[in-house]
Structure 1
Amino acid sequence: MILKSGGIAAAIVLAFLSAASIPAIAQDSSESACGTGRTIDIAEMTWPSAAALAHIHAKILEAGFDCDVAIVTGDTVPTTSSMVTRGSPAIAPELWTSTVQDQWDGALADGSVVKLGEAITDGTIEGWFIPRYTQEAHPEIVSAETAIANPSVFPDPEESSQGRLYSCPPGWGCELATTALFDAYDMDGAWNLFSPGSGGALDASIARAFTREEPILFYYWGPTAILGKFDAVALDMGESKPEVYACNTDPNCNEPAGITAYPSSPAIVGAAAWIGEEAPNVAEYFSKVGLTNAEISELLVYGDENQADAAATAENFLKTKEDLWSSWVPPEVAEKVKASL
């Protein structure tokens, strides 16, 4: 097409104005909700609750806040080290800081990381559990001591004259703690400490007992699908004594095993410092996302029963718990997330 000189000049001006306005419009669009044009990489840890949380938050940030989001493989120690030294990943949605306490405290002090909120508001749990129906039948059993005094309530299927305590899977840190408590409570003789062989075998033993409504005394932890699926009661194990627990779980400690409750580890939303500086809306969002043990255990039940991965478990949570997660975000953000589902 041939243009007259006046038309050419007008076209050039129009093209210049259009080109000049594109970056500004794009920038306004990208920063209106998210606040940053940088990719927010979220660590997907290796355990189910943290993996599901990573996908829940990724979906909300991407669909609701228009953030550029990436999910990356993570685990407590390497994720913390990388966040401290490189500012990446940007978010650790369920960081158990007790495992990396010295490094985390140092990074907080020098300002390279921030705590945005609590991932698990009532803390992680570990301990010995029994079914609620067993406690209702034996209301006197409310603590580890009262359970130990009643081995006949929890007979070993292979040796009915003794009780059975289902221990932590071999090779896990909790195996040392449970074995130490078995010794400290002087349970040998009246009880057998049963090793399940694996986490899956322990889960199968628990599920079988609950399905048959049989008594069972077992070690477990939360949040987990097992505690979301079955009505288990945590026994009172008394005071948590950090020094005693540290010795109980240290193969090189020569002190005799002592009695202590399993400690509750804090689980936080940890972040690289630049998130608070560049994306205050995102930082504010993460200050509101804490869930209880019971809530996280409940969301994991879907994944367990449907053999669903973390992404599918997260999507089910967003679809079925709208009243919960929508309280974390402004109404317009919630609408965008719902539309994306």
Structure 2
Amino acid sequence: MILKSGGIAAAMTVALLSAATVPVVAQDVDATACGTDRTIDIAEMTWPSAAALAHIHAKILETGFGCDVAIVTGDTVPTTSSMVMRGSPAIAPELWTSTVQDQWDSALEEGSVVKLGEAITDGTIEGWFIPRYTQEANPEIVSAETAIANPSVFPDPEDSSKGRIYSCPPGWGCELATTALFDAYDMSGAWNLFSPGSGGALDASISRAFTREEPILFYYWGPTAILGKFDAVALDMGEAKPEVYACNTDPDCDEPAGITAYPSSPAIVGAAAWLQEEAPNVANYLSKVGLTNAEISELLVYGDENQADAAATAENFLKTKEDVWTGWVAPEVADKVRASL
């Protein structure tokens, strides 16, 4: 448009300036809205803690935020690969990144995935354990070395001249690590290394010893129902040496077995990057959901004692631990979740 008058031009200038100085009123953002129409698929991993967490988050996102949610089968390596390549599943609620460290770090750098928070705030645990009642009766046993020096405290039921340490079932990665430590500590003269035939057999041996208040030295990890149910004490195993542990768990490593503590693996809430972009409320929620080892082990006890599946275990947590999960969400979201239970 061609302006024919300086007065008109001045008037329009004033009008434009006036419009520019009108304050913009920000629209309220609904902090309870899902934010995306996409289906949010959550990986249900093959171990109990991750499976229960998947169902806890699915229930809250579906009923509290109104998201379209799907639970999908997952495991560390395939879930990570699929999330990196396809953006699906959207959420891995307990991802042990040490198993896929290089791939995960590369994907973070490329921007295809994000870490939203810690799933287990104090890290996973592995090590050698004894019952607290055994330590109270033998206060000198506080470390792996002091336990090894006292085989008579942990007699092998089938060979009382030696002690027994319970390892992992054949084929498990922890069997390699525990066997390597058995060799590195030179235990074969006074100890027998016992490998149960299955995870269930290991749990049964531990449960039987605690129920009868018998001494037992055993490998275990957390978070798990066993450590939630029984008062077990982790023995001091010294410094964690990742390079030694890597060799100890590699059948092709030619170095002699070395002494190292089991390193703690980070367990995070991992997500496809699109989730943070499209559903910031969901991403914000997932940044707050970290639980301690003890809290996760405690929630798993219900499933173990009641033979409950992951969904029932999750529902029990939501019903009995309102003081925990209501801190993750707005009151309006909490009210919707409660109403759904």
* TM-score (ref. length: structure 2): 0.91
AA aligned opposite 1:175:
E
Once the two structures are superposed, what CA deviation does each residue of 1:94-139 show, in whole Å capped at 9, x if it has no partner?
A: 0000010010000000000000000000000000000000000111
Quick check: 1:30–1:36 contact (8 Å CA) kept in 2?
no
AA aligned opposite 1:332:
E
Shift of 1:332: 0.8
Quick check: 1:123–1:266 contact (8 Å CA) kept in 2?
yes
RMSD between aligned alpha carbons? 1.3
Quick check: 2:32–2:332 contact (8 Å CA) kept in 1?
no
Instruction: State yes or no: 1:319 paired with 2:319.
Output: yes
Q: Which runs of 5+ in 2 are unaligned?
A: 1-27
Match for residue 49 of structure 1? 49
| Runs of 4+ in structure 1 over 6 Å off | 28-31
Match for residue 234 of structure 1? 234
Match for residue 92 of structure 2? 92
Once the two structures are superposed, what CA deviation does each residue of 1:271-292 show, in whole Å capped at 9, x if it has no partner?
A: 0001110111000000000000
AA aligned opposite 1:159:
D
* TM-score (ref. length: structure 1): 0.91
Shift of 1:31: 9.2
Match for residue 286 of structure 1? 286
Quick check: 1:170–1:195 contact (8 Å CA) kept in 2?
yes
Distance, in Å, in 1 between the alignment partners of 2:80 and 2:195 is 32
Quick check: 1:30–1:37 contact (8 Å CA) kept in 2?
no
AA aligned opposite 1:286:
L
Match for residue 138 of structure 1? 138
Shift of 1:168: 1.1
Once the two structures are superposed, what CA deviation does each residue of 1:169-227 show, in whole Å capped at 9, x if it has no partner?
A: 11000000000000000001100001111100000000000000000000000000000
Identity %: 90
Match for residue 9 of structure 1? none
Distance, in Å, in 2 between the alignment partners of 1:89 and 1:159 is 50
AA aligned opposite 1:117:
G
Quick check: 1:30–1:67 contact (8 Å CA) kept in 2?
no
Distance, in Å, in 2 between the alignment partners of 1:67 and 1:30 is 14
Distance, in Å, in 2 between the alignment partners of 1:84 and 1:254 is 34
Match for residue 66 of structure 2? 66
SS for the counterpart of 1:302 is helix
Distance, in Å, in 2 between the alignment partners of 1:282 and 1:29 is 13
Distance, in Å, in 2 between the alignment partners of 1:137 and 1:301 is 27
Match for residue 18 of structure 2? none
Structure with bigger helix share is 1
Listed as ranges, the matches of 1:3-152 within 5 Å are 33-152=33-152
Match for residue 260 of structure 1? 260
Relative to 1, partners in 2 of residues 1:32 and 1:216: Cα closer, same or farther, differing over 3 Å?
closer
